[in-house]
Amino acid sequence: MATYSTSEFKGGLKIMLDGDPCSIIENEFVKPGKGQAFSRVKIRNLKTGRVIERTFKSGDSVEAADVMEMDLQYLYSDGEFWHFMHPDTFEQVSADAAAVGDSVKWLKDQDMCTVTLWNGTPIIIEVPNFVNLTITETDPGLKGDTSGGGGKPATLETGAVVRVPLFVQTGELIKVDTRSGEYVSRAKEE
C-alpha cells in the first residue's frame, strides 16, 4: 500500500484520513530551533467537503488515497444512480446522490463533467462553471418592462429554478453560472 511521509506533503496530495479520501490544501512545517518538528496540515475531506486541520509529527507517514479526476460525459439518471461515460473508451461509471450533490440541479444529458473517482467510484461530480439550459416554465413578462428590480423565477429543464429578466420566455435557452446559480445571458442553440 502506497504511503506518503510528511516531507512529501503539499497542496493537492490525496491521502486517507480516518477512512476517508482527503486532499491536502496547505502544509506548514513547524519546528522550534532545538525541538520536535511537526507538519500542520489543512485537509479537505473529499466525501464530505469539510475542511479539517491535523498535526503530524515530522517523519510520520499516511496512506495514499487512490483518487483521480476525469472528464466524463453525463448520460442519464435511473433515479437512483447518475451514469457517466468516458468519451474515448466508452467506459461507464455510476454516481450516487451523495456524489452528485448539488450538481444535480445543473446536470444535462451529454454535458461534460469533472468526476473525482476514489478506488474507481465517483465521489464528486463537478459541472462546468457555465451551462446552457432550456426554460420549461416562467410567467410571461410584461412587454416593455425594463424596470431593474428582480426579474422573475424560471424553471429549467433540469428542475433548477433561477431568476431571469422579464423579457426571457418559456422555451428559450439561457446561460447560467452554476457557481452562483445566476442567469448570465440568453444562449444560442449549439
- Using CB under 8 A as the criterion, which residues of the chain lie in contact with another protein when the complex forms? 7, 28-38, 40, 52-58
* Closest CB 118 distance from another protein, rounded Å: 21
| Three-state SS sequence of 32-65 | CCCCCCEEEEEEEECCCCCEEEEEEECCCEEEEC
Our CB check for another protein shows the closer of 40 and 86 to be: 40
Our CB check for another protein shows the closer of 36 and 146 to be: 36
Residue 165 CB contacts under 8 Å (≥ 6 apart), including other chains:
141, 151, 183
Residue 149 CB contacts under 8 Å (≥ 6 apart), including other chains:
none
* Closest CB 123 distance from another protein, rounded Å: 23
Our CB check for another protein shows the closer of 28 and 109 to be: 28
* Closest CB 106 distance from another protein, rounded Å: 34
Our CB check for another protein shows the closer of 43 and 160 to be: 43
Sign of the CA dihedral running 173, 179, 183, 186: negative
Cell 448520460, located at residue = 75
* Closest CB 17 distance from another protein, rounded Å: 9
